[in-house]
């Protein structure tokens, strides 16, 4: 190469063209961008289909909730009390639209499996109200 070696040649690639005033140390000692929250929010907004021209944070949060679901931790002492719920099992399977058959009892119709309070917090690791069906 015909150019001279500079200080920039010794920097880590991720900081090579960085400006000192754009960075700070996080509590754990890591060197991070000061605008990491804003940058992260722009990335999330882009992932959920918001335009780069501008967005409302509440709109982005609503879209993320729809994608991620509203999963609740299972409590064997607290009946969800809904007519239908989706259940996530410890193996990672999600059983959708389990029907309420009685107090703290839900049946998954496709496998004819019934879950009761003893399953919440044991094999059931999360539950949520099912998403509304589109007509």
Residues 89, 74 share a domain: yes
Residues 130, 76 share a domain: yes
User: For 12-38, what is each residue's pLDDT tens digit?
Assistant: 888 888 888 999 999 998 888 999 999
3-state secondary structure of 7: helix
Range of the domain at 98: 69-135
Residues 76, 129 share a domain: yes
User: How many CB atoms sit inside 10 A of residue 67's CB?
Assistant: 9
Inter-CA distances, 41 with 14, 54, 104, Å: 20, 11, 39
Token pair for 71: 């999963």
User: For 69-121, what is each residue's pLDDT tens digit?
Assistant: 788 999 889 999 999 999 999 998 999 999 999 999 999 988 889 999 999 98
pTM equals: 0.55
Residues 84, 125 share a domain: yes
Residues 79, 134 share a domain: yes
3-state secondary structure of 127: strand
């Amino acid at each position: 190469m015909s150019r001279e070696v500079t200080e920039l040649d010794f920097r880590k690639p991720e900081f090579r063209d960085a400006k000192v005033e754009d960075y700070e140390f996080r509590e754990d000692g890591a060197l991070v961008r000061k605008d990491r929250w804003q940058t992260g929010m722009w990335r999330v907004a882009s992932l959920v289909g918001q335009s780069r021209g501008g967005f409302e944070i509440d709109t982005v949060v609503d879209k993320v909730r729809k994608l991620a679901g509203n999963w609740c931790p299972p409590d064997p002492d607290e009946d969800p009390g809904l007519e239908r719920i989706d259940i996530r099992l410890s193996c990672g399977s999600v059983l959708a639209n389990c029907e309420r058959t009685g107090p703290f009892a839900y049946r998954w119709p496709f496998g004819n499996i019934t879950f009761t309070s003893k399953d919440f917090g044991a094999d059931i690791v999360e539950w949520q109200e099912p998403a509304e069906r589109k007509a």
